[in-house]
């Protein structure tokens, strides 16, 4: 298991916006922030495995939109951007499964907004099946090294 970035640290912590709702200082309901751990390993399937704890705690659902931080959420001003907030944040979903990690944020947001406008139980079951198949793939366990020029 090859360590990424900082060989001395096993985990990196990231603040993300979850699905739990609390009242803001102004009395408005808003999603709360939680700390997500990420393993510093090369295998994508293992990197986000600690997020399963967020599913158990209720901060994430099993299937949903890509979890983001509060700063990124506050930058959403257009109606189509806010549409992504109408679906729960999840461990897996169309953005996590089909949009490259290095894709522009607008592409990820478009994917999440489309999912939010059309999500249903049947489609979520398909995403779960796709996630299970991805979990069993060679690419999940042995990522390709970055291309050198």
Q: What is the pLDDT of residues 89-109, one digit of tens each?
A: 999 999 998 998 889 999 999
112 neighbors 87 (Cβ within 8 angstroms): yes
Q: pTM of the prediction? A: 0.82
The per-residue pLDDT for range 31-89, each reduced to its tens digit, is 999 999 988 887 767 788 899 999 999 999 999 999 999 888 888 889 988 899 999 99
Could you tell me the end-to-end alpha-carbon distance of the chain, in angstroms, rounded to an integer?
A: 25
């Amino acid at each position: 298991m090859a360590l990424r970035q900082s060989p001395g640290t096993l985990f990196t912590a990231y603040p993300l916006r979850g699905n739990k709702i609390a009242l803001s200082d102004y009395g408005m309901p808003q999603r709360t922030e939680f700390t997500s751990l990420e393993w510093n390993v090369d295998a994508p399937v293992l990197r986000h495995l600690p997020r399963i704890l967020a599913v158990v705690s209720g901060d994430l659902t099993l299937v949903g939109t890509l979890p983001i931080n509060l700063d990124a959420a506050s930058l959403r001003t257009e109606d189509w951007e806010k549409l992504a907030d109408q679906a729960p944040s999840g461990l897996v979903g169309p953005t996590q499964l089909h949009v490259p990690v290095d894709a522009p944020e607008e592409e990820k947001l478009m994917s999440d907004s489309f999912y939010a406008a059309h999500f249903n139980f049947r489609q979520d079951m398909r995403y779960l099946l796709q996630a299970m198949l991805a979990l069993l793939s060679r690419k999940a366990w042995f990522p390709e090294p970055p291309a050198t020029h």
